[in-house]
């Protein structure tokens, strides 16, 4: 009685890996739900086949032992036994072929279903992979409603989103396990992925194709929220950066505009208009910095500005010589951009 109990307890940690904000087995979208269903179909089928094989093996060994003990000449084959064995093997080969065909058909139907999501009135996004961060652009027929952000995607629950995937350096791969399967971002080629989030929550995505030294630190968040909350977020993001409200933040804005920061970053409503690095217009509202490497806190933002190479070696952001006081002012300014 203890052995089965111990075995069940040993499986608990494994089962805990089937949930969470970065688990393909805890679907929060239509695509991921179909992929998870296919996974469990394959897993259940394989488990049943393995159990039947083990049961058959045990029965065969017991039967063969009994027959060998009863036979006066163990090395003499019994035609009846050999005939039975031939029929059994042929039947198992046929069953194996049928199972493989069925699993292949299930995989084919799932792929077809994923490709046939309703595409009308889809939210249009362009996602561009960089070493090592994500540029997110919300397109709209009205140019004034075009929005650019970085490393964080907001989506309304229950609505199809069309992701146009591109890369400007090496091959990356977009993967948010709870929402959808993987798709590559290939330089010189545009791939399109349609997804449908169906559960409110915050999900973690990851580049799933090795893309260089900081591949492991190329993450993004997908925030799925009700339509009204999404529209409120979108309207706020469309606005220009808020003016700093404290003397320290005002000083930080002046320092930012004079430092090398303006050579790479854009802050709408200010003199910073470069597009080499992430858009920082509303960076203070994001949950992380450096593509998911650090949480958005004053301490971590200060560490990131002080020495980017120490936090994320190989990143394109250079180290800018600033005094601790100047960094605190810039941190106060960036933190106010909400």
Q: Both 29 and 147 in a single domain?
A: yes
- How much of the chain, in percent, has pLDDT values that exceed 90? 51
Domain range for 192 is 20-238
Q: Does a structural domain hold residue 68? A: yes
Q: Both 123 and 153 in a single domain?
A: yes
Q: Does a structural domain hold residue 47? A: yes
**Confidence grade of residue 124 (pLDDT, cut at 50, 70, 90):** very high
Q: Alpha helices, DSSP H only, in the chain?
A: 2-16, 30-70, 79-115, 227-238, 247-258, 298-306, 308-311, 324-335
Domain boundary at 238, 267, 298, which? 238
pLDDT at 305: 93
| pTM of the entire predicted model | 0.80
> Residue 170: CA atoms inside 13 Å, Cβ hemisphere, count?
12
In this predicted structure, which of 54-58, 183-187, 254-258 has the lowest mean pLDDT?
Answer: 54-58
Mean pLDDT on 238-248: 90
More confident residue, 172 or 260: 172
More confident residue, 123 or 74: 123
Mean pLDDT on 169-188: 93
Mean pLDDT on 295-319: 92
Q: Both 213 and 252 in a single domain?
A: no
Q: Does a structural domain hold residue 170? A: yes
Q: Both 165 and 219 in a single domain?
A: yes
pLDDT at 258: 87
Q: Summarize pLDDT for 199-223 with one digit per residue, the tens.
A: 999 999 999 999 999 999 999 999 9
In this predicted structure, which of 11-20, 96-105, 148-157, 244-253 has the lowest mean pLDDT?
Answer: 11-20
Is the pLDDT assigned to residue 181 strictly greater than 60?
Answer: yes
Q: Both 101 and 145 in a single domain?
A: yes
N-to-C CA span, the chain: 59
Q: Does a structural domain hold residue 280? A: yes
Is the pLDDT assigned to residue 306 strictly greater than 70?
Answer: yes
Give the Cβ contact number of residue 205 at 10 Å: 25
Q: Summarize pLDDT for 59-108 with one digit per residue, the tens.
A: 777 766 655 555 555 556 667 666 777 777 788 788 888 888 888 888 87
Q: Both 86 and 177 in a single domain?
A: yes
**Confidence grade of residue 231 (pLDDT, cut at 50, 70, 90):** very high
How many domains does the chain fold into? 2
Q: Both 321 and 205 in a single domain?
A: no
Average pLDDT of the residues of the chain: 85
pLDDT at 237: 92
Q: What angle do CA 34, 40, 43 make, to 5 degrees?
A: 140
pLDDT at 151: 95
Q: Both 103 and 130 in a single domain?
A: yes
Q: Does a structural domain hold residue 9? A: no
Q: Does a structural domain hold residue 2? A: no
Domain boundary at 186, 205, 238, which? 238
| CB contact at 8 A, 28 and 178 | yes
Q: Does a structural domain hold residue 6? A: no
Phi and psi torsions of 278, nearest 5°: -60, 145
Q: Does a structural domain hold residue 111? A: yes
pLDDT at 153: 95
Q: Both 230 and 140 in a single domain?
A: yes
Q: Both 194 and 315 in a single domain?
A: no
Q: Both 284 and 206 in a single domain?
A: no
| CB contact at 8 A, 114 and 36 | no
Comparing C-alpha atoms, which of 63, 62, 102, 104 is closest to residue 81? 63
Cα–Cα distance for residue pair 168/137, rounded to 1 Å: 14
DSSP state of 272: -
Q: Both 45 and 111 in a single domain?
A: yes
pLDDT at 118: 64
CATH number of 180's domain = 2.60.40.420
Domain boundary at 208, 238, 268, which? 238
**Confidence grade of residue 8 (pLDDT, cut at 50, 70, 90):** low
pLDDT at 31: 83
pLDDT at 115: 66
Radius of gyration of the chain (CA): 28
Tokens of 229: 């909350």
């Amino acid at each position: 009685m203890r052995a089965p109990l111990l075995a069940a307890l040993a499986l608990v940690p494994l089962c805990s890996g089937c949930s969470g904000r970065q688990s393909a087995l805890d679907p929060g979208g239509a695509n991921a739900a179909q992929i998870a269903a296919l996974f469990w179909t394959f897993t259940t089928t394989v488990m049943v086949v393995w159990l039947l094989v083990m049961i058959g093996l045990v029965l065969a060994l017991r039967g063969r032992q009994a027959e060998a003990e009863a036979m006066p000449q163990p090395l003499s084959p019994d035609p009846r036994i050999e005939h039975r064995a031939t029929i059994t093997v042929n039947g198992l080969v046929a069953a194996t072929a049928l199972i493989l065909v069925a699993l292949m058909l299930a995989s084919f139907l799932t792929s077809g279903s994923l490709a046939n999501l309703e595409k009308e009135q889809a939210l249009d996004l362009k996602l561009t992979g960089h070493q090592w961060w994500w540029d997110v652009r919300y397109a709209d027929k009205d140019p004034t409603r075009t929005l650019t952000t970085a490393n964080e995607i907001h989506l309304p629950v229950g609505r199809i989103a069309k992701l146009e995937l591109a890369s400007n350096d090496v091959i990356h791969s977009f993967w948010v396990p709870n929402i959808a399967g993987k798709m590559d971002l290939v330089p010189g080629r545009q791939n399109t992925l349609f997804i449908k989030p169906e559960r409110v929550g915050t999900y973690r995505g990851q580049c799933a194709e090795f893309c260089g030294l900081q591949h492991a630190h190329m993450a993004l968040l997908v925030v799925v929220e009700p339509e009204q909350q999404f529209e409120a977020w979108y309207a706020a993001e469309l606005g220009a950066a808020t003016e700093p409200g404290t003397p320290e933040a005002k000083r930080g804005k002046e320092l930012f505009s004079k430092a090398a920061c303006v050579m790479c970053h854009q802050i709408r409503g200010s003199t910073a208009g470069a597009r080499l690095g992430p858009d920082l217009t509303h960076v203070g509202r994001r949950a992380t910095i450096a593509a998911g490497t650090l949480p958005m806190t004053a301490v971590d933002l200060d560490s990131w500005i002080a020495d980017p190479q120490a936090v994320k070696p190989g990143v394109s952001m250079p180290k800018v010589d600033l005094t601790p006081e100047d960094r605190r002012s810039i941190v106060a300014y960036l933190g106010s951009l909400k």
